[in-house]
Amino acid sequence: EADIYQTPRYLVIGTGKKITLECSQTMGHDKMYWYQQDPGMELHLIHYSYGVNSTEKGDLSSESTVSRIRTEHFPLTLESARPSHTSQYLCASSGVGTAVNEQFFGPGTRLTVL
């Protein structure tokens, strides 16, 4: 079944730890995105990728990094987590054809840094 998967769904971690948020999709999409969203607030684009070995920073300055080694996989890494990183992280993908700009979102990872 075509879908977008994010793991973990919830993560509580201490300050200074390195974390990687996983995102995988079986939608057959070439474009993938990471958004950050605080409760009740707007979406902020932090990273995007148009294909393998292509990554760009988004509108919101972020201390995270991403990689795109495989089309279906777009992990996000925080080298040293801080309480200010506490937020919901949403992965999305978009595809091909006439619906090329339709973004589909994964379930999200809720990150709490103590």
Which helix (DSSP H) or strand (DSSP E) does residue 20 occupy? Answer: strand 19-25
Cα distances (angstroms) measured from residue 56 to each of 38, 49, 72: 22, 6, 17
Which of 2, 60, 99, 114 binds another protein (CB under 8 A)? It is 99
Rule CB under 8 A: say whether 12 interacts with another protein: no
Minimum Å distance from CB 24 to another protein? 15
By CB under 8 A, the residues from 59 to 98 that bind another protein are 90, 94, 98
Which of 48, 68, 72, 78 binds another protein (CB under 8 A)? It is 48
First CA to last CA across the chain, in angstroms? 36
Rule CB under 8 A: say whether 101 interacts with another protein: yes
Return the structure tokens found at 42.
């707007």
